[in-house]
Amino acid sequence: MSYDVVIIGAGAAGLMCALQAGSRTKKVLLLDHMPKVGSKILISGGGRCNFTNIHTTPANFVSENEHFAKSALSRFSPQDFIEILKKYNVPFHEKKLGQLFCDTSAREVVRVLLAECEKYRVEIKLNETVRGLKQVDSDEGYRFEVTTSSKILAKSVVVATGGLSLPKIGASNFGYKIAEQFGLKVVPTRPALDGFTLTDPAYQKIKDLSGASLDCVLTCNGQSFRENILFTHKGISGPAALQGSLYWKEKTRVFINLLPDIQLKELLLEAKKKNPQTNLLKILSQYLPQRFIEAFSSSFLNYSEQISLPFAQVSEKILLDWSTTLHAWSVLPSGTVGYAKAEVTRGGVCTSELSSKNMESRKIPGLYFIGEVVDVTGWLGGFNFQWAWASAWAAAQSV
Ligand code: FDA
C-alpha cells in the first residue's frame, strides 16, 4: 500500500489532479468518503455543469491575497479544459457571459474525468474514511502515512476536500482540520454565492414579491454586477445577489440600481414639465412591474398615495426621491442564506501557507491543498470549476 500520491477528495479538483499526475506516470490513489465521485459536478449548473468561463481572469476571484491565483490560472486555461472535453466529443455551448455548459448532462464531465483517470491507471477508493494523516521518515522517500481502514504510505498527499456547502453530498471540514493539524493558518470560512436574507419587518412587502425577478446593477462593497435579482420569501436571490453575497460583510449595505438603462431624474422632470397630467405609476410601469412599484412605494418612500396623482400635484422633491431610491435602493441584509444553499465556501487554507506555483505547503513539503478548500473563491459562472481544474493541474506537475 504505497503510492507516489494520495489525493483525498474525488471532486472536481481531486479528479483533475489524479488524472494529470497519472499522465506523468505517477502511481496515484484517489480517496473519497462518499459512494460516488464528483457529486457537486453532477448537480452543478442545473445538471448541465457550467464547467468553465472563457473570460476567466484573476479579477473573478476573491482571496486575502488577490495575486495568489494568477500563476495557476495562467498555466491551465479554460481552453485547456475544453480540449479535454473535445477529445471525448462532449457537446457544449456558451449560455451567457462566457459561461460554458454541457449540452446534455453534467454526467459527461464526470465520464470524461473518470475515463482519463482509468487511462492513466489511477486507483479510486470510495466509501473510504481517512482516520489520520501523519508525517513519517522512510528511505524510499515516503513522507506520509494515511490511515484509512488500512495504512497507506505516500510521497505526496493532496487535500482536495472542497468547502462546507451541502454536507448531505459529502462536504466536510476535513481539509481545514488537516491544515490546522499541521499548523497552517485557515482564513475563517463563510457561505458565499448564496444571496441575502432580509429579516427587518420593513422588507415584508418586498418579500411578498416572492418569485418576481428584475434586471439590475447590484453593488456590494465596491463590486458591481449587472444581472437579475429574484425576490424570495427569505430575501433576495438571483445571479446578481449571489455574486454580491461573495463580497458581503456583516452590517454592510447593498445598493441596487433597479433602472440601470435610464436616467430617471431627467425623465421625470421632463415629464412633469411637458405632461403634467401623467403620473409616476404610468411612467414607472414602462420599466418595472406594477406589483413591484406598489410594494416598493408603500415600503420605502411613504409616498404610496403620490404614485397615481398627476404630476402637476407632485413636488419635484418627491420625484427626485423616487429617482434616487430606484437608482440606488439601499438594502441592509441581515445575513446571507447559509451553507444549505451556498454554491461555495469563502475563506479556507490561507494562501500565505502555500506556493502559488504548485499549491504545496511551505511548511510541510509534500502536502498540497487544491480547489475550494483553499482561500480562493470565484464568482458565479464557471469560475470555481476553473479554479479547481487549474489548481489541480498546478499541483499535479509537482507531486
Ligand atoms: P468538491 O466539493 O467538488 O469535492 C470535494 C470532495 O471531497 C467530495 O467528493 C467530498 O465527498 C470529498 N470529501 C470531503 N470530505 C472528505 C473526507 N473527510 N474524506 C474523503 N473525502 C472527502 N461551480 C462552477 O464553476 N460552476 C457551476 O455550475 C457550479 N454549480 C454549483 C452548484 C451547486 C449546487 C453547488 C453546491 C456548487 C456549484 N459550483 C459551481 C461550485 C463547485 O461545485 C465547487 O467550487 C467545486 O466542486 C469545488 O471543487 P473541489 O474539488 O474543490 O470540491
What is the tens place of the pLDDT at every residue in 342-399?
999 999 999 999 999 999 999 999 999 999 999 999 999 999 999 999 999 999 999 9
pTM of the model: 0.96
State residue 45's pLDDT score.
97
- Is the pLDDT assigned to residue 300 strictly greater than 80? no
What rounded mean pLDDT belongs to the chain?
96
Here the cell at position 305 is 398615495
Exposed (0-12), middle (13-18) or buried (19+): which is 211, by Cβ within 10 Å? exposed
* Residue 40 Cα: closest atom of ligand 1: 43
Q: Does residue 296 surpass a pLDDT of 90? A: no
Whose C-alpha lies nearest to ligand 1, atom 53? 162
Ligand 1 centroid to residue 3 C-alpha, Å: 24
- Crossing angle of helices 264-274 and 316-327, in 10° steps, is 150
Asked if pLDDT for residue 301 goes beyond 80, the answer is: no
From ligand 1's centre to the CA of 123, what distance in Å? 20
| Ligand 1: centre distance to CA 227 (Å) | 24
Ligand 1, residue 53: give the atom nearest the CA.
25
| Cα gap 304→102, rounded to integer Å | 47
- In this prediction, residues 157-178 reach a mean pLDDT of 96
Q: What digits encode the pLDDT tens for the residues 138-152?
A: 999 999 999 999 999
State CA 151 to chain mean position distance.
Answer: 35
175 close to 373: Cβ distance less than 8 angstroms: yes
Nearest CA, atom 31, ligand 1: 44
When computed from its CA atoms, the radius of gyration of the chain, rounded to whole angstroms, is: 25
In this predicted structure, the answer to whether residue 295 has a pLDDT above a threshold of 90 is: no
Tens digit of pLDDT for each residue in 191-250? 999 999 999 888 888 878 899 999 999 999 999 999 999 999 999 999 999 999 999 999
Convert 292-309 to b/e letters by CB count within 10 Å (16 or more is b). Answer: bbbbbbebbbebeebbee
